[in-house]
Structure 1
Amino acid sequence: MTQAAERAADSKSFERAARMGYVASGLLHALIGLIALQIAFGDGGSADSSGAMSALASRPGGIFLIWACFLGCLALALFQVSRAFLDSAGSRKEVWKKRATDAGSAVVYGAIGISFGVFALGGSSDSGQNQATWTARLLSQPAGQILVGLIGAVVAGIGIYFVYKGVMRTFRKNLGPIPSGPWQRAVTITGITGFTAKGLSLLILGGLVIAAAATADPQKSTGLDGALHALKEAPQGWLALGAVGVGLICYGLYLGIMRARFGKL
């Protein structure tokens, strides 16, 4: 085998490993969606990454899946970092836009990978309490309420972007060619439903952070689990929470199957 062929084979192997990051993130979101459904119908559970990982670890062979998810997220984060440095096609503006997107993706999947790694090594945490702690620290700083409010606004803005991406179907730009028929319908259903539900959950989360800033009460910033529990407390909240839970499962299916299989890298 020539050196060029070896490099191409190595690149393909790295790409396949990177796609496992989408599978890992999809699994995480699907589990959070299932927990949200349980909460909607009266059962307990923590509807966040720590609760999802605990549920996964309790299954036979779950710890091996957690390690595989850690490695997949790490590979995807490294792949995005390499793209941020190496991708130089297009105008200067387009290059920096791509680099910013790749860097952002690297941070997101790196953070998810670290969460899997910490859990695999025996650590665990209450993400809602962690968020409340960090919010309290920020609120104690000069202009802390303004800073926390801005963070909440950014999170809510990201939520609006996710809803827009789902409703307008712009998520298809992240995918390559898709076979016609069932695959096309599956991409459309999971993409629209998934991005909309993810966006709504981020909107609620951002609203809670803004509320914490407005009242200087860090306990109102309770993370995704708190956001989903807050949704249940609304009139007919169990129905809305159930719909968001189904949507998060769809988002998990989109990431873990559609994006992992057809996504552009």
Structure 2
Amino acid sequence: MVGTPDAADVSRAGRKAGRGARDAARSKPVRIAARGGIAANGVLHLLIGWLAIQLALGSGGQADQNGALGAIAAEPLGRVFLWVLVLGFAAVVLWRTVSSIWGFGYVGDRKKQLTKRVVSAGQAVVYAVLAVTAATTAVRGQSSSGGGGQATAGLLGLPGGQIITALVGLGVLIGGGVMIWNGWQKKFTEDQDLGGADRRARRVNARTGQIGYIAKGIAIGVLGILLGLAALTFDPQQANGLDSALKTLREQPFGVFLLIAVGVGIACYGVFCFLDARYHRVT
């Protein structure tokens, strides 16, 4: 008769599994793929920036991740490239997940280390969503639309949905503000190893990061406000994702110029992602 495993056996198995996941995430192939995933995010942001500028100039289309992925799918061999993006995003998910548990050993302050681990967990979720969205687009050959509105409708449909949606909107607004602050203070350089970068690369990295973080923070902040409005009016279409936020910017006084500026800023974030793929501490 086989005995049941005791607590010590379970603990040892758990530690072994944890070491296996950590070693896998720190392996050279995964680290290379993770850098590719960061660069892939840069491709998406370049496309989103371009779509935002087109939107400002009166063109139709969807200026968000779905729109960017749909633009890729429409190109020759676009669906093949989407599967490459899926692999890169999946590698980032593994790396970020492990970093949220064991990462940032180079940070001396325990509170800051904990904060970075929480942010890393959030990034794992973001890249997981990107991976699923890219895979869905690759299978269908086209992107879905209205995802943001459907998600907001789902929140509003929950018990206490208006309060939940308002709190989510507040969190998104605060997140946008934090992103603007991090961009202004160049906090993103804390997770980069710029030891081998020359002066020109450092300057481009700093400027594109600052402009990109601030532009994304503005767009995310507007999305948070729209979520609050959706909660107040009980109308999920008020907050249909990043696309709604950018269209709201266009409708403001001097909105065309504002949206062009934000579009250029988001494209700068895309350029920054290429540099970040080279210099980010992927350990």
- TM-score, normalised to structure 2, is 0.84
Equivalents in 1 of 2:270, 2:203: separation in Å?
Answer: 16
Runs (5+) with no aligned partner, structure 2: 1-22
1:11 partner letter = S
CA distance in 2, matches of 1:66, 1:224: 21
| CA apart distance, 1:230 | 1.1
Q: 2:151 aligns with which of 129, 134, 147?
A: 134
2:58 aligns with 42
Shift of 1:147: 0.8
* Worse-matched range after superposition: 118-127 or 206-215: 118-127
Residues 89-148 of structure 1 deviation map (CA, whole Å, 9 limit, x = unaligned):
467656644432332221111111111111111165544x22222322322333211110
User: Would the alpha carbon gap of residues 174 and 87 (structure 1) be closer, same or farther in structure 2, given more than 3 Å must change?
Assistant: closer
2:190 pairs, out of 145, 161, 173, with 173
- The corresponding residue for 1:4 is none
Aligned residue for 2:209? 191
Q: Is the 8 A contact 2:89 2:130 kept in 1?
A: yes
1:240 aligns with 2:258: yes
The residue number in structure 1 matching 2:11 is none
CA distance in 1, matches of 2:109, 2:271: 34
- For 1:76 and 1:134, locate their aligned partners in 2 and report how far apart those are by CA, in whole Å: 24
Which of 113, 123, 128 pairs up with 1:105?
123
CA contact (8 A) 2:211 2:269 kept: yes
Which residue of 1 is the match for residue 3 of structure 2? none
Of 194, 216, 221, the match for 1:203: 221
Which position in structure 1 is the counterpart of 2:83? 67
Structure 1 position 61, deviation (Å): 2.5
Q: Which residue does 1:3 correspond to in 2?
A: none
Question: For 1:31, which of 29, 36, 47 is the aligned residue?
Answer: 47
Cα deviations by residue, 1:61-86 (Å, 9 ceiling, x for unpaired): 22222111100000111112223344
- Structure 1 residues 205-220: aligned runs within 5 Å: 205-220=223-238
CA separation of 1:83/1:169 partners in 2, compared to 1, >3 Å: closer, same or farther?
Answer: closer
Q: Distance in 1 between matches of 2:133 and 2:269?
A: 19
The CA distance in 2 between the partners of 1:94 and 1:237, in whole Å, is 37
Whole-angstrom CA distance in 2 between matches of 1:242 and 1:92: 40
Of stretches 88-97 and 230-239 in structure 1, the one that deviates more from structure 2 is 88-97
- Tell me if 1:145 matches 2:162: yes
Q: CA deviation at 1:248?
A: 0.4
Between stretches 160-169 and 141-150, larger displacement belongs to 141-150
Q: Give CA-to-partner distance per residue, 1:191-226, whole Å, 9 cap, x none.
A: 111000000000111111000111122221111111
Aligned length: 256
Does 1:155 pair with 2:164?
Answer: no
Moved over 6 A (4+): none
Q: State the Cα RMSD in Å.
A: 2.1
The question of whether the paired residues in 1 share the 8 Å contact of 2:192 and 2:279 is answered with: yes
Tell me the distance in 2 between the aligned counterparts of 1:140 and 1:62.
36
CA contact (8 A) 2:230 2:237 kept: yes
| Counterpart AA for 2:81 | L
Structure 1: segments with no counterpart, 5+ residues:
1-6
Is 1:22 matched up with 2:38? yes
174 and 223 in structure 1: CA distance in 2 versus 1, 3 angstrom threshold: same
Q: For 1:242 and 1:94, locate their aligned partners in 2 and report how far apart those are by CA, in whole Å.
A: 35
**3-state SS, counterpart of residue 121 of structure 1:** helix
How many Å apart are 1:24 and its aligned residue?
Answer: 1.3
1:114 to 122, 132, 153: 132
Question: Separation in 2 of the partners of 1:199 and 1:98?
Answer: 18
Amino acid corresponding to residue 58 of structure 1 in structure 2: A
TM-score, with normalisation over the residues of structure 1? 0.89
Identity %: 38
Give the aligned residue type for 1:261: R
